[in-house]
């Protein structure tokens, strides 16, 4: 008999788990055969109603919402509403559930029938480009406050970047709450995944280097930047999708490699970057070590003082090793942070602080208490203002 293989390392982001709706249809398979979905995330600007922690609503267009409400009302009506029906028990006292008879939809229903169809599998780059062009034309019609993100669902660990994670929302909320600070800045995002935080950053910043690894993921990220062009154009912000591997010492400048850097971009990054952002990037200790080495190396080479914002979700897992609940990846992240805290290497001084997360919620997701935001400041020593005591003779 064939052996059954369990894919124990497949993960699904809570963002996608909690937000299904009729528009969450698979649009196609990407060229490596993974189902691709497009989700919409609405930015709630000042004055709009926010239902914090109401995970389902941000994605849905008004008509979807209306439809769902109507459905809920219809169900309540049919079941007689809360408290209207006495539970039916069998002779042992078990609850007997009466199933509602299946009815065919009324002919004149004004709701679209949901028929998920895989239209085609994109096989060539040309096909993907044609789709992009179509999307671009649609773009012009689109609302200025909807972020559209192409993503996959339930990926193996090595493809987690193809899903959107809650940390990206927390970071995006922070960016939207600090627009004055980020306006006109040059920003580097590490482990950008689908690129959601970079899109939001480019609403205010001048240049965002949106980085990750893997041609496949970077292509998806690039498509997301194109999908959201109408959000970025008014402010003139630009997103450049580039390869940056935390396990490599140098940036790739080989012109034959897709998503490589030009010499001008490398110079711009070193001379002008004042912020680094990273969302939900600590889930494997070796990668976390690589990330912190990269952070240290980059911010030591930047000409400007550099502030890094890292969002993280403290995930509890049961481990056989501990026979208990633990959060090893988070604990390792905290150890890396404490190694940076107070570090002075002759050129830079590093300071680490945890930021409060009480800033307004502009995107709708569940802002669970395990979501944290950390700030790492790297100040070149020549930029430091001497304290009063240091000035005294
Ligand atoms: C959990 S995902 C987070 C994606 C995105 N920031 C978000 O919050 O939605 C972690 C990201 O780290 C990236 N990553 C993993 N190893 C990396 C490496 N060696 N260099 C750069 N990025 C890496 C993954 O490709 C993935 O996009």
Distance in angstroms (rounded) separating the CA atoms of residues 242 and 163: 18
Report the greatest alpha carbon distance in the chain. 92
Q: How many helices (H) and strands (E) does the chain have?
A: 12, 16
Pocket lining: 252 vs ligand 1, CB cutoff 6 Å:
no
Domain ranges of the chain: 160-391
- Closest-CA residue, ligand 1 atom 26, reads 161
The pLDDT of residue 127 is: 61
Pocket lining: 195 vs ligand 1, CB cutoff 6 Å:
no
Pocket lining: 279 vs ligand 1, CB cutoff 6 Å:
yes
- Closest-CA residue, ligand 1 atom 25, reads 161
What is the whole-number distance in angstroms between the Cα of residue 72 and the centre of ligand 1?
A: 38
Q: Which atom of ligand 1 is found nearest the CA of 165? A: 9
The pLDDT of residue 143 is: 67
- Closest-CA residue, ligand 1 atom 4, reads 193
Distance in angstroms (rounded) separating the CA atoms of residues 48 and 233: 23
Q: Measuring CA to CA, which residue among 280, 283, 305, 278 is closest to residue 294?
A: 278
DSSP string, 191-209: S-TT-HHHHHHTTT-SEEE
- Closest-CA residue, ligand 1 atom 24, reads 161
Tokens of 8: 């124990």
354: enclosing H helix or E strand: strand 348-355
What is the whole-number distance in angstroms between the Cα of residue 159 and the centre of ligand 1?
A: 8
CB 146 within 8 Å of CB 58? no
The pLDDT of residue 24 is: 55
Bridge partner list, 239: 208
3-state secondary structure of 265: helix
What is the whole-number distance in angstroms between the Cα of residue 320 and the centre of ligand 1?
A: 26
- Closest-CA residue, ligand 1 atom 5, reads 193
- Which stretches within 140-262 are classed as H helix? 166-177, 179-182, 196-201, 215-227, 229-232
Pocket lining: 168 vs ligand 1, CB cutoff 6 Å:
yes
The pLDDT of residue 350 is: 95
- Closest-CA residue, ligand 1 atom 15, reads 191
Q: What is the pLDDT along the chain (393 residues), one digit of tens a residue?
A: 455 454 557 888 888 876 654 455 566 787 777 788 889 999 998 755 444 444 444 443 333 333 333 333 433 333 333 334 455 666 666 666 555 554 444 444 454 444 443 434 444 556 666 666 665 556 555 567 899 999 998 788 888 999 999 999 999 999 999 999 999 999 999 999 999 999 999 999 999 999 999 999 999 999 999 999 999 888 889 999 999 999 999 999 999 999 999 999 999 999 999 999 999 999 999 999 999 999 999 998 899 999 999 999 998 877 667 677 779 999 999 999 999 998 998 889 999 999 999 999 999 899 999 999 999 999 988 766 655 555 555
Distance in angstroms (rounded) separating the CA atoms of residues 180 and 253: 33
3-state secondary structure of 155: strand
- Ligand 1 pocket test target in 158, 161, 217 with most atoms within 8 Å of CB: 161
What is 160-391's CATH topology?
Rossmann fold (3.40.50)
Residue 316 CB contacts under 8 Å (≥ 6 apart), including other chains: 325, 326, 327, 370
Q: Please provide the distance, in angstroms rounded to a whole number, between the alpha carbons at the two ends of the chain.
A: 85
């Amino acid at each position: 008999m064939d052996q059954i293989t369990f894919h124990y390392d497949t993960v699904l982001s809570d963002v996608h788990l909690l937000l299904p709706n009729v528009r969450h249809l698979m649009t196609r398979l990407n060229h490596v055969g993974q189902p691709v979905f497009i989700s919409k995330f609405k930015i709630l600007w000042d004055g709009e109603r926010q239902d914090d922690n109401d995970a389902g609503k941000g994605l849905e267009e008004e008509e979807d919402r209306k439809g769902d409400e109507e459905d809920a009302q219809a169900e309540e009506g049919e079941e007689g509403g809360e408290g209207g029906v006495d539970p039916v028990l069998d002779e042992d006292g078990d609850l007997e559930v009466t199933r509602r008879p299946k009815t065919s939809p009324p002919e004149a229903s004004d709701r679209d029938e949901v028929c998920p169809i895989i239209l085609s599998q994109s096989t060539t780059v040309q096909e993907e480009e044609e789709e992009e062009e179509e999307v671009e034309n649609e773009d012009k019609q689109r609302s200025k406050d909807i972020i559209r993100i192409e993503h996959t669902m339930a990926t193996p660990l090595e493809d987690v970047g193809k899903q959107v994670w809650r940390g990206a929302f927390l970071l995006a909320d922070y960016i939207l709450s600090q627009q004055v600070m980020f306006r006109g800045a040059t920003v580097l995002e590490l482990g950008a995944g689908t690129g959601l935080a970079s899109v939001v950053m480019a609403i205010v910043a001048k240049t965002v280097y949106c980085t990750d690894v893997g041609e496949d993921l970077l292509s998806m990220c690039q498509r997301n930047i194109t999908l959201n062009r109408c959000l970025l154009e008014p402010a003139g912000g630009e997103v450049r999708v580039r390869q940056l591997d935390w396990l490599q010492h140098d940036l790739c400048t080989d012109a034959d490699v897709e998503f490589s850097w030009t010499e001008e971009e490398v110079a711009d990054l070193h001379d002008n970057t004042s912020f680094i952002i990273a969302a939900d990037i600590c889930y494997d200790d070796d990668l976390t070590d690589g990330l912190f080495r990269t952070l240290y190396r980059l911010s030591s080479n930047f000409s400007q003082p550099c502030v890094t914002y890292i969002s993280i979700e403290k995930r509890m897992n049961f481990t056989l090793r501990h026979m208990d609940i633990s959060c090893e990846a988070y604990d390792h992240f905290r150890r890396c942070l404490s190694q940076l805290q107070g570090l002075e290497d002759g050129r830079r001084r590093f300071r680490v602080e945890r930021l409060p997360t009480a800033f307004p919620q502009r995107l709708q997701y569940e802002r669970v208490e395990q979501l944290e935001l950390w700030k790492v400041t790297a100040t070149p020593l020549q930029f430091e203002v001497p304290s009063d005591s240091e000035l005294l003779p």
